[in-house]
Structure 1
Amino acid sequence: MDNLPLLTIGITLLTCVLAVIGVHVYSSGKAQREALVERMSHTGQITVVGRRRRFRGLDRRLRTTGIGKRIERKIAVTGLDLTPGEYVVYVVAGLLGLYFLVGAIFASFFGVLAALAGLWGGNAFLNWQRVKRTEAFINQLPELTRVLANATQAGLAMRTALVMASEELDDPAGEELRKVADQLAVGHTLDDALGELADRLPSRELVVLVTTLVLSSRAGGQVVTSLRNLTETLEERKETRREVKTVLSQIQVTALAVPMIGLGFLLLINNMTPGALDKMTGATVGQVGTIVAFALYAVGYLAIRRMSRIQV
């Protein structure tokens, strides 16, 4: 029983590792299934039927409110198959789970702090999904420009080239280009359709591509040469971004490791002296000190991320 704190920390770390592995395996399997369904639906081998939506009543009421409309707009740019009602229910369930889990491991006051952090994390998750989708789209831009250059060199119009690219490219580029093709089919101009695409997935690379296509459609010119030069530039930027991400990976791990070490020490202290955290957070001074400590950890994390952010 003398090694109980170390054993507890070891079991906790092992559980976290297994949880991360499980989430990774689940997400990769889900992505493979969606890709398979997408390919088979295009060939007509299966018919895709939309899944049954949950919490329809809550979703209808939520869509009439301002916060519901904001949530709907955020979800729309992430590519997630969620409704605002489902998102709110899942977030509330996650907050309750955080409160009871963290409160049972540390103290009830830490459960309240974890629930507040989870409330911020729900919005941060949507922003992270949007950034992730944007980065995936940016990685496909060299292939997109190559398809557009080949299509225009073959004599196809830009609208037809975009439709062909939407059929050949995987998601998210394929899905986003299908939205552009649908807008063009119902009478939207090329400028408006591509402008909305740039608004959904904001990035400098996409802005350059949209500007090139719009100017080419307005003033003419050697669009094939411009697209091929842009393809080479995007390939170089893609490699540079990959190198920068590899170099900064250690710094990003450090930013996460520092607050995790602090939580580990709290868990160690509570195991060495059972009830210590309850006594500490039972007084106003202890609660204020805990809030200040977590605020300093958050400031340190954000400062490290800010200093390690390099725009390529």
Structure 2
Amino acid sequence: MDNLALLTIGAVFLFGVLGVMGVHAWSSGRAQRQALVDRLSHTGQIEGYTGRRRRFRELDRRLRRTAFGKRIENRLAATGLDVTPGEFFVYMVVTVLGLWFVAQAVLASFFGPIAGLLGLWAAFGFLNWQRNKRIERFINQLPELSRILANATQAGLALRTALAMAAEELEAPAGEELGRVANKLAVGHSIDDALGELADRLPSRELVVLVTTLVLSNRAGGTVVGSLRNLTETLEERKETRREVRTQLSQVNMTAYAVPAMGLGALLLLDRVMPGAIDRMTGSFIGQAAVVTSMVLYGVGVFVIRRLSKIDI
């Protein structure tokens, strides 16, 4: 009887230990799997993974399965931001709702939906601005990148090795982007595909020229030192020209945004001088049509000024 009791206690203790070990192994494996999914799926930036705890994971997984989520993911990949599609979507919704309520409280209820649409446009405009900013920084690093590749190939290194070395020596964003290229080459992708994805992710004339030079030289099997030397000088000249053009057009670009800001300021000033003027103005169809027409005209003015001041180099 005593042996049966001891055997029962021992079996219960053994099963308890095995159960605890199983739960621990399951939770540890699930945590590792989730960390791997986050690293592989976070806007394609495995190199820049920071280990930050991701928010809204369930929403992020559901959003990635949709076409809208994939589009957001591709845009975030081009910006280099450490944000998941789920996080960006939640932040965007909060911003839209906040602008909606603020516009209703400060101006009038008519301006709530308009402010919400402007918030939605501003969210994607922010992504485009970050993308263009990253492209501009990458373009400024292209002369140094071309110089490093020329020195590496002149020393007898293969193009794959030269790209990996450039990824280690250059700072972001060139270092991060070339790190992606090096990782793709390490797992079997061709140089044409890896560099082609880089050109699609950060489109610019300078990068297209560099990628075309590297791809053609790799296909033909010839030396790329002379081409890269000449390309380095050309990129340096284009860099200085772009800086001068940007300086000359800075006043025009500021004017494009200052004029709508003055219109909004005049509207707020009118409501201060005549309290309730905005409510009375937007309370009729004619007033609403006038407000919408003025906003459309301001938008057309900004678009025209931006187009006239845009110079392709």
Same fold (TM over 0.5): yes
In structure 1, list runs of 5 or more residues that go unmatched.
Answer: 1-41, 43-47
Distance 1:186 1:60 in 2: 25
Amino acid paired to 2:62: R
2:129 corresponds to which residue? 128
Structure 2 equivalent of residue 58 of structure 1: 59
CA distance, structure 1, for counterparts of residue 69 and residue 50 of structure 2: 26
SS in 2 for 1:282: coil
Higher deviation after alignment, 88-97 or 239-248: 88-97
Query: 1:182 and 1:199 mapped to 2: Cα distance?
Result: 17
Q: Is 2:148 the partner of 1:147? A: yes
AA matched with 2:54: R
Partners in 1 of 2:231 and 2:106 — Cα distance? 54
Q: Give the superposition deviation at 1:306.
A: 0.4
Asked if residue 198 in structure 1 is aligned to residue 166 in structure 2, the reply is no
User: 1:87/1:224 Cα in 2 relative to 1: closer, same or farther (>3 Å)?
Assistant: same
**Is 2:203 the counterpart of 1:175?**
no
Whole-angstrom distance in 2 between the partners of 1:49 and 1:105: 40
Structure 2 partner of 1:90 = 91
Aligned length in residues = 266
Q: Rg larger in 1 or in 2?
A: 2
TM-score (norm 1): 0.83
For 2:103, the equivalent position in structure 1 comes to 102
**d(CA) in 2 for partners of 1:166, 1:210:** 15
Superposition map of 1:74-89 within 5 A: 74-89=75-90
Q: Residue 280 of structure 2 aligns to a residue in which SS?
A: helix
1:250 maps to which residue?
A: 251
State the Cα deviation string for residues 202-235 of structure 1 (Å, max 9, x = none). Answer: 1110010011111111113341111011000000
Q: Which amino acid aligns with 1:204?
A: R
- For residues 12-23 of structure 1, the aligned pairs below 5 Å read none
Q: Which runs of 5+ in 2 are unaligned?
A: 1-46
Deviation at 1:108, TM superposition (A): 2.1
* Structure 1 residue 102 displacement after superposition: 2.5
Letter in 2 for 1:218: R
Give the match's secondary structure for 1:108. coil
Which string of whole-angstrom CA distances, capped at 9 and with x for unpartnered residues, describes residues 49-106 of structure 1? 5100001121122122221121112111211111111111100111111112222222
Q: Tell me, in whole angstroms, the C-alpha distance in 1 between the residues paired with 2:50 and 2:209.
A: 37
- CA–CA distance in 1 between the matches of 2:69 and 2:217? 39
Q: Which residue is 2:270 aligned to?
A: 269
CA distance in 1, matches of 2:238, 2:82: 31
Q: Which whole-Å deviations, capped at 9, do the CAs of 1:160-199 have from their partners, x for residues lacking one? A: 0000000000000000000000011011111111111111
Taking the aligned partners of 1:79 and 1:63, their CA distance within structure 2 comes to 18
- Once the two structures are TM-superposed, the CA of residue 128 in structure 1 deviates from its matched residue by 1.6
| Whole-angstrom distance in 2 between the partners of 1:310 and 1:142 | 21
What's the secondary structure of 2:110's corresponding residue?
helix
Aligned to 1:21: none
Matched, 1:184 2:188: no
1:215 aligns with 2:180: no
Classify the secondary structure of the residue corresponding to 1:271.
helix
Q: 1:112 is aligned with what amino acid? A: P
Kindly provide the CA deviation profile for residues 4-61 of structure 1, in whole angstroms up to 9, marking residues without a partner as x. xxxxxxxxxxxxxxxxxxxxxxxxxxxxxxxxxxxxxx9xxxxx85100001121122
Distance (whole Å) between structure 1 residues aligned to residue 70 and residue 193 of structure 2: 22
> Percent identical across equivalent pairs?
68
> What is the alpha-carbon root mean square deviation over aligned residues?
1.3
What is the match of residue 166 of structure 2?
165
